[in-house]
Amino acid sequence: MVVVIDTNVLYQALRSREGASHFILQLIRGRKITLALSLPVFTEYEDVLKRPDKLNDLQLTKDDIDKVLRFLSYISKPVTIYYLFRPNLKDEKDNIFLELSLAGNCDFIITSNTKDFTKYNELKFDDISVITPSDFVKMWRKNYEV
């Protein structure tokens, strides 16, 4: 199973060891699911996580973030984006996650902001499932845990 995780999910996973986002990060770490990663998404992760307010909230350093990102880049499925899709999402920066999902033939986009991907977009993609972290974990446990 190949997934895309929105920056908010990665941020929440690093912020707390409790909850669905951290559980998803542990699935990725344990290679039970595969994280798709493109250069634009990697850059977005880096930009957001290294902001001074985020570093302070996470109680991490830039070096800590670099280690996390290096590890994610090592275990992730690299995806090169050749064609840009512009479904005119409410937040222009969310388009990179949709493009990654399409180019990487991903099963899910995991985000805390599902409405940002499902409302107000001009292009519809029936084969892309946008799901919250908690709904993903419920689905995972129902289908893959005994």
- Reported pTM: 0.92
pLDDT one-digit tens code per residue, 3-59: 999 999 999 999 999 999 999 999 999 999 999 999 999 999 999 999 999 999 999
Please answer whether residues 105 and 85 qualify as being in contact, where contact means their C-beta atoms are separated by less than 8 angstroms. no
pLDDT one-digit tens code per residue, 70-93: 999 999 999 999 877 765 666 678
Residue-range domain boundaries for the chain: 2-144
pLDDT one-digit tens code per residue, 91-143: 678 889 989 998 999 999 999 988 777 665 555 666 778 999 999 999 999 99
10 Å Cβ neighbour count for 32?
Answer: 12
How many angstroms separate the CA atoms of 140 and 29, rounded?
A: 15
Region class of 13: left (phi > 0), else alpha (psi between -120 and 50), else beta: alpha
Fold of 2-144: Rossmann fold (3.40.50)
CA–centroid distance for 63 within its chain: 21
Structural element, H or E, at residue 74: helix 62-75
Return the pLDDT at 120.
59
Return the pLDDT at 127.
73
H runs (alpha helix) in 18-61 = 20-29, 39-49, 52-58
